[in-house]
Amino acid sequence: MNEASHGGVARPETRGYPGNLGLLFAAHAQSDRPAIVDLRDPARPQPVSFRELDAACDGVARALVKAGLGPGDRIGILSLNRAEFVMTLLGAMRAGVVPVPVNVKLPADAVAYILHDAGARRVFADAASRRLAPAGLPVVEYGPEFDRFLDPGPFEAFEPLPDSIAVQPYTSGSTGRPKGVAVPQRAVVRLVRNTDYIELSAGDRIAQLANVSFDAVTFEIWGA
């Protein structure tokens, strides 16, 4: 393991393929095929096409840059699984901003510690989890507020270096304080591209069931 310069968090070795994770579905960016089906309300599934997802990711990236954030800056995400979570995650990566997804089932003091330790400059949250954001930290709530935050238009994605950090999840802290793990962009690509352990096609569906802060979500999002 290497040691990250940001907060002293552990950093896995950077094996894999280069490229920005936020652009991993670029070959499908003009497709109207569903990329995500949001099932927060099972009676009213909300499909999001690859074209819509790509535009939203660019909108997030542009808005973050407009707000003064850039490569290496951290944002917190306090949310259950939903389409806007994926938009925020991938959009931040396009801007080189490091998302810090947090388990919203943790106690409020643990959530506050994670956001402080990571140096988060802004938080994205669903309505139920907004209360966990520490006072004084800017919050964008998913829903109409998130829609207003987006800055529509094209965006030229950040070109990551071999050790550029993609995402910084935290452990649960069951043996003490939660600990951050800085995951390089290409380490994730290595997990889902040119693999020999599973075959996936455009007709397959992957359920995103893992907590947004758990490592299983890596396969659920980028495997799809």
Percent of the chain with pLDDT over 70: 74
Q: Rounded CA gap, 178 and 116, in Å?
A: 12
**What are the structural domain ranges in the chain?**
2-12+21-186
pLDDT tens digits, residue range 68-116? 999 999 999 999 888 999 999 999 999 999 999 999 999 999 999 999 9
Please state which CATH number belongs to domain 2-12+21-186.
3.40.50.980
Query: Which residues are paired to 120 by β-bridges?
Result: 74
**What pLDDT is recorded for position 131?**
96
pTM: 0.80
Contact of 114 with 178, CB cutoff 8 Å = yes
Helical residues (DSSP H) of the chain, grouped into ranges: 50-66, 83-94, 108-118, 144-149, 185-192, 216-222
> Could you tell me the two tokens for 2?
């290497």
Among 7-11, 42-46, 122-126, name the most confident range. Answer: 122-126
Q: Give, as one character, the DSSP assignment of residue 181.
A: B
Which residues, including other chains, have CB under 8 Å from residue 26's CB and lie 6 or more apart? 54
- Average model confidence (pLDDT) across the chain: 81
